[in-house]
Amino acid sequence: MFIGVAKATWWAGGAMVLASSVRVFLIFERKPREGRLIQDLLVAFIYLGAALSIIAFVFDLPVRTLVATSGVFAIVLGLALQSTLNDVFSGIALNLGRPYTVGDWIEVEGGARGQVVETNLRSTHLLNDTNDLVIVPNSTLAKATLTNLTGTDSVHGSKVVIRALPTRSPAVIEETMKTVILSANTILKFPTPSVSITGLDGSAVEVELSFKVASLGQTGIAKNEIFDLVFRHAKAAGIQLSSAANALTEASPAENSKHPGTPWRLLTSIPLFSALTEDEMETVANSMKRCTFKKGVVMAPQNASMTSLMIVRSGVVSVERDEEDGRSEELTRLAPGDLFGERGVLMGAPEPATMRALTFIVVYEISKDHLASVMHERPALVEELSQLLAKRVETEEHLRADGNAGAEAHPVSLAAKIRHLFRLPHGSIN
């Protein structure tokens, strides 16, 4: 009996050593999760072989008779566990084919989408966008159409489909959408994004904007920016978006608006002027001057102190900073509704970068003198403008990532600068 126990222990110990070696190998390969299914299968075969060896060499029982007898039992068990075995063999096929690995983002036909966090004998575990764990049976994955969103690198492609009313020619709409792509900051410039007309009927012109982002997580941010830019550029170009397929939306007549002018519409779209009353905004709008710039023209050089606010009406403006080594770095791009020159007008500070026209540009100018007249009538406006300007300066400094925000970004110091520049009394309340 002692010899039989020793032999059984020897076989069991050998099986445990081999099983541990498989696990250690996968750990050293730094792929403990990817090899989970293969690991389980190898360990199962090792222990099964050890059990048959104990039966044959320790207890001297006929293994062939046992295997033949267990065949009938295996058939009955296989029928009972048909679904489970289907998942197991599907998992084996998926691991051999390797259509995805742990860490990849996949989308399953039918709606399931997420990042693969684990694969085992029965299922694959996905972590979706809402941080919920989605467990998909391997048999379902083997039969479904899979889309590996991760691909060979982190760059991810996406697209946005826009429908515009056919009040303008498709060529004009396509050119406007190209301007949208040109002014986007969150998408990759290379590979070059594309714009194509995908449909045309009596209700709408359908345009597809295709682009790539640096990672899958940037897709939502990029789409949000694209939708915002489409709205702004379409409004600037007089293009109306279609509400739904096969539905023609009548344009809202501008005559019904109390303030139909372009200057008024630009002012209302800029947060910096949200503190103005309706009368004050009317005064500023009436003083605005329309200016145009050709493509490639420098609208404001770096370190220049501007005396007017410039609001982009149409086109794309590149904000470029000249480095000490002679290189030029693009910080961001401005689209319709954006403004520049507020540092010089409200702070007396030079421009941190060069403003260059990437396309034909139409801007509306607000001179410092006209803005001063509004501030003299209501000095309390200084505090409101300084709060809004502080947030804008903080955003610009974060974009530059040079950590030189300094004390001038504080609302109190900004308010003092504005009062000094416009010669307003300190502590005035109106």
For position 275, what pLDDT does the model report? 74
Do residues 142 and 90 make contact, with C-beta atoms less than 8 angstroms apart? Answer: yes
What residue spans define the domains of the chain?
Answer: 2-80, 100-148, 156-237, 262-422
Looking at the domain that runs over 156-237, which CATH code has it been given? 3.30.70.100
What is the spatial distance between Cα 392 and Cα 271, in angstroms, rounded to a whole number? 10
User: Is 156-237 the same fold as 100-148?
Assistant: no
Do residues 116 and 37 make contact, with C-beta atoms less than 8 angstroms apart? Answer: no
Among candidates 343, 324, 348, 360, which has minimal Cα distance to 395? 343
Among candidates 162, 185, 172, 168, which has minimal Cα distance to 231? 162
CATH architecture, domain defined by 100-148:
Roll (2.30)
For position 72, what pLDDT does the model report? 58
Compute, in degrees rounded to 10, the torsion defined by CA atoms 23, 29, 34, 35.
Answer: -40
Which is the CATH superfamily of the domain at 262-422? Answer: Jelly Rolls (2.60.120.10)
pTM for this entry? 0.67
For position 417, what pLDDT does the model report? 76
Tens digit of pLDDT per residue, the chain (430 long)? 778 778 788 888 888 888 887 777 666 655 544 456 667 777 777 887 888 787 777 777 776 666 666 665 566 656 556 677 778 778 777 877 778 888 888 888 877 888 888 888 788 999 887 888 999 998 888 888 888 887 667 788 899 999 999 999 999 999 999 999 999 999 998 889 999 999 998 889 999 999 999 888 788 899 999 999 999 999 888 899 987 665 544 544 444 445 557 888 888 878 777 777 888 888 888 889 999 999 999 999 998 888 898 999 999 999 998 887 778 889 899 999 888 888 888 888 888 899 999 999 999 999 888 888 887 777 777 777 777 677 767 766 665 555 444 445 566 677 777 777 777 766 544 4
| Two tokens, residue 426 | 């300190």
